[in-house]
Amino acid sequence: ICAPDYEPCTEDILASRVRTTGVIQEEYMIWGSKFVIIDVGGQTSERRKWMHQFDGCQAILFVAALSEYDQNLFEDNTKNRMVDALELFYKICNDKSFTNTHMILFLNKRDLFEQKIQHTAISSIPFFEDYGAQGWKENDYEAGMEYFKEKFKQQNETKGKDVFAHVTCATDTSNVQYIFNSCKAIILKDTLSASGFIA
């Protein structure tokens, strides 16, 4: 990296990370339709800045890190990160402003989760002691993934509202492409339905 002639490859760029602060808005033309994507900081100190940004949006893409089930917040080392994500998801999912807004859940960092779950049992974390009691297989990637999918889906108390859940790895370009295509299809189907083109 320190070499004068260093040029980052695609993998280098994907592996880099910049913490989102404030609100960043980007516009894209996809399939002839304009998509406005608003990226907001997830840190607790950032949240008061962005709730009003979602007026009239068709979908909220909520990203939570699967691998952080045993970690605490940077801003509050007494608060579990996964618990915080579940509480925030509950708040957004059931907010009256988002009654007709699609919720698309990205459970990210599946690669790190798959490594971590081999040696850190989910039920060993105080907030997730029900994992073993419910009969989920310990130290199992698939079982752990399904458990957290269900945890997030249970936060949805809005009748008739669906939560579309995807397990992701942001550095896996084929996985991200597949999921992005799924998101486009959900949003465009909703747009066509609202316009009366499809029932």
Q: What is the pLDDT of residues 97-140, one digit of tens each?
A: 888 888 889 899 999 999 999 999 999 999 999 998 898 999 99
Round the CA-based radius of gyration of the chain to a whole number and report it.
Answer: 18
pLDDT bracket for residue 24 (50, 70, 90): confident
The DSSP line for 58-76 is SEEEEEEEGGGTT-B-SS-
Q: pLDDT value at position 154?
A: 95
Of 91, 101, 110, residue with least CA distance to 152: 91
| pLDDT level of residue 4 (50, 70, 90 thresholds) | confident
Q: What is the pTM of this model?
A: 0.78
Split at pLDDT 50, 70, 90, the class of 168 is confident
What is the C-alpha to C-alpha distance for residues 102 and 65, in angstroms, rounded to an integer?
A: 20
According to the model, what pLDDT value does residue 198 have? 55
Report the pLDDT value the prediction gives residue 136, as an integer from 0 to 100: 93
DSSP-derived secondary structure letter, 162: -
- At 16, the pLDDT band (50, 70, 90 cuts) reads low
